[in-house]
Amino acid sequence: MTDKCTFHKQSAAHFYCQHCDTFYCDDCITIRKIDEYGGKKSYYFCPACNDQARMLSVGNMIDPFWKRLPKIFLYPIQPVPLILTIVLAALGALFPSTFLVKIVVAVLMIKYAFSVFLNTSQGSLKAPGFTWDLINADLKPIIQQYILIVALSFASGMVFLSLGPIAGYCFIAFSALVFPVIIMVQMATNSILHAINPMIFFPIIFRIGWPYLLMYLFLTFLYSAPMALLNVVPLENLPFNLVVFLFYFLSQYYTLVSYHLMGYVLLQYHDEIGYPVDYDFFIANRGGTPKKPLTEKQELDNAVTVLIKMGKYQQAIERLLPHIKGENVDPELSEKFLKLLRMTNDKKRSDIYAPRHLNLLVAKGKKQKAIDLFDEIKSNQEHLPDAKTVFTLASWYNSRSEYKKAMETYVYFINNFKKDEQCPEAYFNLAQLLHEKGGNTSKARQILKAIVKHYPHHPVSDDANKYLAKAA
């Protein structure tokens, strides 16, 4: 049964944190790239507790092979393998009697099939390119496969001669049954001795279980399919070279399907088999692109989000606390911190912190959020925002033509910040609004006279005198 991400139930889990007992998909996990030996290596951490998370088997992240059989069968239709299969089949058909051509065609196809196997076993479902490096690649794995085939054939003959036909046929049946896993071990380990070691391939068969038999039946069908198809084709009515072309094409087509299938089974059961898979390669080649490492802010935000979803509000507060102190606090983190304080019903701390968050919103120009928060907290006279914040809010109300709220905010400023250097300006702005928008000229004149009397040396005193004459 596939383990799902704790927070995204539609997504398969890629990692597990034993400390938190939580499953994470690749969108939830925290990635850190660390320089090691001249390159960068990825490490994966639980966003909640910051412990290193354990990667689950890739088999948990992909569809089982029996659900992908139609796509596996169509794998060679991709441009590179299709063109290669056609070219090699055409080459074999043009020179059907040339032994060297047969060798070249066989070697090139088995080399490419080997590349398909390795590519698939590491998680790439896209066919590899056919490059010069592939042509120059080591022939050792190919030679090993032919040695295995010859060795099994020789062993079958010896059993026939030594123990009789019944034992010989039983040995052939047994060899056919274990041959796929022998090839998988040989390609994965690049060792004949490992491949023919029953202590290695028998446990693998049992770890895979009944799906191994399903794979074996499908491979048997694939290996017999070319001859079966040719038996229903009226070969006597076709040119000889076309018959050769069809034989080569079908044989190579099914070879690629077989190697892709064996690579996919190895990928699906790599954890049970003990075959290492590069997770970065898997993520990059399964149809997506490698994820960029998170910034410190993204990593923190991710961790806090996970903790909130877990209901661990106090831990989320503690994780945020170091980041909402000092200068240049991120307003989003500050907002989360305030929300968390309110979610935990910590009224005392939220009453203390709310004015500070308001100061930050105003400093960052977050007008609507600042205005909304001020409406919530202005009744709290024990913990006040900065005078500069309130004065700015009053001017924002005025610019939005919310004159009543602007006047109320200037009154709030005057009542709470009488000794602030902007107090005379607050009085003057209030007087203007009372005269021009409030219809209360008498009160405006009282305020203007008070400015002239109490702040005779302040620059706004001259403005008050002029405005008195205007408001007469």
Q: Which tokens in the block code for residue 239?
A: 């040119």
Highest mean pLDDT among 40-44, 152-156, 411-415, 445-449: 411-415
The kind and range of the H/E element at 36 are strand 30-36
Residue 229 has pLDDT above 70, yes or no: no
Residue 300's identity, in one-letter code, is L
pLDDT at position 356 is: 94
pLDDT at position 287 is: 60
| Average pLDDT of the residues in 97-124 | 89
* 38 against 213, higher pLDDT: 213
Percent of the chain with pLDDT over 70: 95
Burial of 206 (C-beta count, 10 Å sphere; 0-12/13-18/19+): exposed
pLDDT band at 38 (very low <50, low <70, confident <90, very high): low
pLDDT band at 472 (very low <50, low <70, confident <90, very high): low
CA 56 to chain centre: 14
Residue 139 gets which letter from DSSP? S
pLDDT band at 230 (very low <50, low <70, confident <90, very high): low
pLDDT band at 160 (very low <50, low <70, confident <90, very high): confident
Least confidently predicted of 253-267, 358-372, 400-414, 436-450: 436-450
| Average pLDDT of the residues in 423-442 | 89
pLDDT at position 264 is: 93
Q: Which tokens in the block code for residue 266?
A: 């190895």
Q: Which tokens in the block code for residue 54?
A: 């354990």
Residue 339 has pLDDT above 90, yes or no: yes
Percent composition of the chain: helix, strand, coil (DSSP 3-state, to 5):
70, 5, 25
Residue 211 has pLDDT above 70, yes or no: yes
Residue 54 gets which letter from DSSP? E
Residue 64 has pLDDT above 80, yes or no: yes
| Average pLDDT of the residues in 371-386 | 91
User: What is the overall mean pLDDT for the chain?
Assistant: 87
pLDDT band at 87 (very low <50, low <70, confident <90, very high): very high
| Average pLDDT of the residues in 135-163 | 82
pLDDT band at 414 (very low <50, low <70, confident <90, very high): very high
Residue 43 has pLDDT above 90, yes or no: no
Q: Please, what is the end-to-end C-alpha distance for the chain in angstroms?
A: 85
| Average pLDDT of the residues in 114-125 | 90
- pLDDT digit string, tens, across residues 286-305: 766 666 777 788 888 888 88
| Average pLDDT of the residues in 308-312 | 87
Nearest 5°: CA angle at 73, between 106 and 178? Answer: 65
pLDDT at position 288 is: 60
pLDDT at position 54 is: 92
CA 255 to chain centre: 33
Residues in CB range of 31: below 8 A, 6 or more apart: 42, 43, 44, 45, 291, 293, 294
Residue 447 has pLDDT above 80, yes or no: yes
Helices (H), 233-346: 240-268, 270-273, 279-285, 296-310, 313-320, 331-343
What residue ranges define each of the domains in the chain, with the CATH number in brackets? 15-63 (no CATH), 65-284 (no CATH), 312-385 (1.25.40), 387-472 (1.25.40.10)
pLDDT band at 368 (very low <50, low <70, confident <90, very high): very high
pLDDT at position 272 is: 81
